[in-house]
């Protein structure tokens, strides 16, 4: 299980090797994604809080990257954080998420990206529920739910 200490170590010292790599041109990403998904995943944007029904859906299933279809999260680790973005306590495997120190907007946070295609997913915080204590705060448009 990944914990906050491990997240910080990975963000500062390097991530797990990616299970595979997907690279596309900006034009290819634009053609594949909706304008909002492109802005969020490829340009490191953020969707408005509470703008997606995904926040209140807790049915069984898995969530994959909207860009490369890599499985990222399982609904068993999803919880209602009250923040307005889908939140999870753990990824499905340590190597599917990469971590980067994000010092934008006058804050220091840890950005999460898909380790396969480098899509911006959101951020991870150390204020989640036990046992991990992590809150992966994800942009819903960066994810696709699959059963």
How does pLDDT run across 11-65, given as a tens digit for each residue? 999 999 999 999 999 999 999 999 999 999 999 999 999 999 998 889 999 999 9
pTM of the complete model: 0.94
Q: Is 137 a catalytic residue?
A: yes
Which class is domain 4-146?
Answer: mainly beta
CA atoms within 13 A on the CB side of 103: 2
Catalytic one among 55, 67, 68, 137?
137
- State how far the Cα of 48 lies from the Cα of 59, in Å rounded to an integer: 23
- State how far the Cα of 56 lies from the Cα of 101, in Å rounded to an integer: 29
Residues 32/66, Cβ–Cβ less than 8 Å: no
């Amino acid at each position: 299980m990944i914990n906050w200490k491990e997240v910080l170590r990975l963000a500062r010292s390097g991530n797990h090797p990616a299970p595979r790599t997907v690279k596309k041109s900006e034009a290819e990403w634009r053609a594949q994604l909706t304008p909002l998904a492109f802005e969020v995943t490829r340009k490191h944007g953020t969707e408005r809080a509470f703008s997606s029904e995904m926040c209140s859906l807790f049915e069984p299933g898995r969530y994959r990257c909207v860009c490369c279809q890599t499985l990222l999260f399982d609904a068993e680790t999803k919880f209602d954080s009250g923040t307005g973005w889908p939140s999870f306590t753990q990824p499905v495997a340590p190597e599917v998420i990469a971590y980067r120190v994000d010092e934008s907007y006058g804050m220091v946070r840890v950005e999460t990206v898909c380790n396969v295609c480098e899509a911006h997913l959101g951020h991870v915080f150390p204020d989640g529920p036990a046992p991990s204590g992590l809150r992966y705060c994800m942009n819903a448009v960066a994810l696709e739910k699959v059963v």
